[in-house]
Structure 1
Amino acid sequence: MRMLLSPVSIIKVPYIRKVFAAMFAVTLVLPATVKAEEDPEKSSASWGVGIGAKSSQKAYTGIDRENEALPLIQFENQYIRLFGPNVALKLPGFEVNEANKIDFSLIGKYDSSGYEDNDADILEGMSDRKSSFWAGAKVEWQNDLADVSLEWVHDISGHSKGQSVSLGLERTWQINEYVMLTPRFAATWQDSKYVDYYFGVRKSEVLANRGFYEGKSGINTEVGLRGIYKFDNHHSVFADAEVTQLSSEIKDSPLVDRSTQNNLTFGYVYRF
C-alpha cells in the first residue's frame, strides 16, 4: 500500500491546486461539448430539501458526544450531485456491458474532525484544530454484486495539509416499494500530516498527563448501514449508522482512550 501511495505523498500542494483548477474548468465546459445519453432520468434534474440530526462520538479522552442539526439540500442532474456537505462534479463514464458501469467524478466535502481546547480536559491548553474542506477525485464501479469505489482527497483548506485514500464497497437492497437498505465497508489510509494534526501533541503542548506525540500514517476501517423509507415520491426519511475502527497510529496518541468512533444520522427529505 505504501509503495503505491508514495508518489501521491510527494505532490506539492500548489501543483495539486493548479491541477484541480484545470480539471474543474474542463468539467464546467463538458456540458457544452459532451452529448448526454438519451435517458430521461439522467437528463432531468431532481431537487430535495430537508432537515437532519447527527450524533457523533469522537475518540478523544473524556470528550462528550456531539449532537447537531443539519439542514439538507439535495440536487442532481447529469453533471452534478449535491447532498449535505458533499458535492460531486460528474465526468464522462462508460459501460463495459449492461451489468458493469464505471463513473468518474471530482468531489468536494466538509470534514468536521476539528476540536477546541475546551471540548475535553485532555485537550486543555492544546491549540485548536480546525475542521477542513477537502477536494479530490473518485472512481466508482457499479456491477451486479456491489458498488466499488476508490477515492482520493486532499485538505484544500490548508489546515492539516493532509490527504487520504479510501477503498469502499457497498450494496443496496430494495426490500419492498418503500424500504431500501445499504450496508457498506471502507478502508481509509490517512497520511502522517492528517494524523499528526488531529491526534499529535506538539512540544509546546506537552503536560504531565500528555506526552509528545508525532502522528504517522495509518489505515482506518469503517462499517455502516443506511436505511431509507419512502412514503411516496416526495416524502422520505433515512437513518445512517457507522462505526470506525481506528488505526494503531491514532490509538497510540495520548489524546485518545478508545479504539473506535461512531456517527448516527437521521433525517427527513422532501423531493420536488
Structure 2
Amino acid sequence: MYRIFVVLIIFFLAVAPAMADEPCQSEGDCIAVGEWDISVAFGYGNKTNPLTSYDDIPLYVIPSIAYYGENWFFDNFNFGYTLTEQENFTINLATSYSDERAYFYRWDPANIFLPQSVNFDTTEDLPPIGSFGTQDVSQPPVLNELESRNFTVYGGVELFWYGKLGILKIAAAHDLLNVHNGQEVDVSWTYSLAVTDWRFDLALKTTWKSSEVIDYYFGLRASESAYWSEEYQPSSGWSNSIELTTRYSISTSWDLLLAARYTQLADEIIDSPIIDEDYSSSYFVGAAYRF
C-alpha cells in the first residue's frame, strides 16, 4: 500500500496546478459560521490493528458533526476557541483525542469519527496477549491479561497556515485528565485539488509522542509481565502518516467517497512486545450525505 501511495503522490503533484489560493475551492468545502454541519458516510472499510491477537477494525458508518461560531467551535466532540484568525493563518486553543487507545477498544472515538470501528466493549477484560513473535525463545512468554488503557483528552494550541501550496498545521497538546501526563506534537501538510465535480485531498503528517504516551499504551505493567515491564522502557518517537481522500459530488447533498491512510509507527512503538506490525493502514469506500 505504501508504494501505491507514493505513485499517487507523484501523480497528484504532477497534475496539480497552483489552485490552493483559497482553502474553500468549492461549495461545501467549508462550514458556515453559526450553522451546524452534520453528515454521515455509509460504506465499507477496514483499519488494520498492529496489536498482537487483536482483530482489525471494520468501518461501516462514519458520522461527522461540527459547529463553528465566531470564536468557539465544536468538531466531532473536540472543542476549541479561536484566538486569532487572519488572512494567512489561524491560531486556536483546542482539545483532541489520540488514536492509540483505538487499537484496544472498538468504540473509541478515534474509530468512529474519522476525517477521511473486534467485538468486545470497553467494560470487558481484554484478551490474553499470548506469546509474541518479537520475543526471543529465552524470554518468558507474556500470558497475563492486559489492564485497561483509559481514554483521555488532550488540550493545547494549534496553528493553521494557509498558502498556495496547501495548508500547514502545527499542534502541541498535553494530557488534560492526568491519565499518563504525556504530550503530543502534530505537524501536517494538506493540499486540496478541485476538478469539476471531483475533489482530491492529500495529507502528509508526522506525530511526536512523548515517552509517557508510548509507555502507557504500549508498555506492560508488572501484573501483565514482570519481565517486559522492566525490559521495555520506551523513549519518545515519531510516527508518519499519509492520507488521500477522493470525493465525487453527485448533488449538493451526496458525495461518493474513497479514503485511504497509511501510518508508519514509531520505532519505539514497534519495539513493544504487544506490537506485531510496524504500520497501520485503513481505507473506506462509500457515499456521504450532508444534512
| TM-score of the superposed pair, with normalisation by structure 1 | 0.72
Rate the CA distance shift 1:193–1:104 in 2: closer, same or farther, 3 A. Answer: same
Specify the code of the residue in structure 1 equivalent to 2:126. Answer: D
**Which 10-residue stretch deviates more, 59-68 or 109-118?**
109-118
Q: Percent of pairs identical after alignment?
A: 20
2:85 is matched with which residue? 93
**Which 10-residue stretch deviates more, 235-244 or 140-149?**
235-244
Name stretches of at least 5 consecutive residues in structure 2 with no aligned partner.
1-30, 105-124, 132-141
Rate the CA distance shift 1:140–1:64 in 2: closer, same or farther, 3 A. Answer: same
2:261 is matched with which residue? 242
Specify the code of the residue in structure 2 equivalent to 1:94. Answer: Q
CA drift at 1:47: 2.4
1:127 is matched with which residue? 147
Superposition pairs of residues 37-52 of structure 1, within 5 angstroms: 43=33, 45-52=35-42
Specify the code of the residue in structure 1 equivalent to 2:161. Answer: W
| Equivalent in 160, 167, 177 of residue 157 of structure 1 | 177
2:115 is matched with which residue? none
CA drift at 1:166: 0.9
Residue pair 2:194, 2:200 contacting (<8 A) in 1 also: yes
| Equivalent in 198, 209, 213 of residue 190 of structure 1 | 209
Measure the CA separation in 2 of the matches of 1:162 and 1:110.
12
| Equivalent in 112, 115, 118 of residue 127 of structure 2 | 118
Residue pair 2:94, 2:155 contacting (<8 A) in 1 also: yes
CA drift at 1:228: 2.0
Superposition pairs of residues 51-66 of structure 1, within 5 angstroms: 51-52=41-42, 55-66=46-57
Superposition pairs of residues 155-234 of structure 1, within 5 angstroms: 155-176=175-196, 178-206=197-225, 212-234=231-253
2:90 is matched with which residue? 103
Specify the code of the residue in structure 2 equivalent to 1:118. Answer: P
Residue pair 2:222, 2:229 contacting (<8 A) in 1 also: no
Output one character per residue of 1:210-242: Cα deviation in whole Å (capped at 9) or x when no partner.
873122101111111112222222222433221
Measure the CA separation in 1 of the matches of 2:128 and 2:85.
44
Measure the CA separation in 2 of the matches of 1:230 and 1:77.
23
Measure the CA separation in 1 of the matches of 2:216 and 2:159.
28
Measure the CA separation in 1 of the matches of 2:170 and 2:52.
32
Measure the CA separation in 1 of the matches of 2:152 and 2:288.
26
Give the count of matched residue pairs: 227
Specify the code of the residue in structure 1 equivalent to 2:248. Answer: Y
Residue pair 1:202, 1:212 contacting (<8 A) in 2 also: no
CA drift at 1:76: 3.7
Residue pair 2:220, 2:228 contacting (<8 A) in 1 also: no
Output one character per residue of 1:5-55: Cα deviation in whole Å (capped at 9) or x when no partner.
xxxxxxxxxxxxxxxxxxxxxxxxxxxxxxxxxxxx854525223245663
Across the aligned residues of Structure 1 and Structure 2, the Cα RMSD in angstroms comes to: 2.9
1:18 is matched with which residue? none
Specify the code of the residue in structure 1 equivalent to 2:98. Answer: D
Output one character per residue of 1:105-129: Cα deviation in whole Å (capped at 9) or x when no partner.
1222333422263175457422121
Specify the code of the residue in structure 2 equivalent to 1:48. Answer: I
Bigger RCO (CA 8 Å, 6+ sep): 2
Specify the code of the residue in structure 1 equivalent to 2:85. Answer: G
2:7 is matched with which residue? none
**Which 10-residue stretch deviates more, 201-210 or 221-230?**
201-210
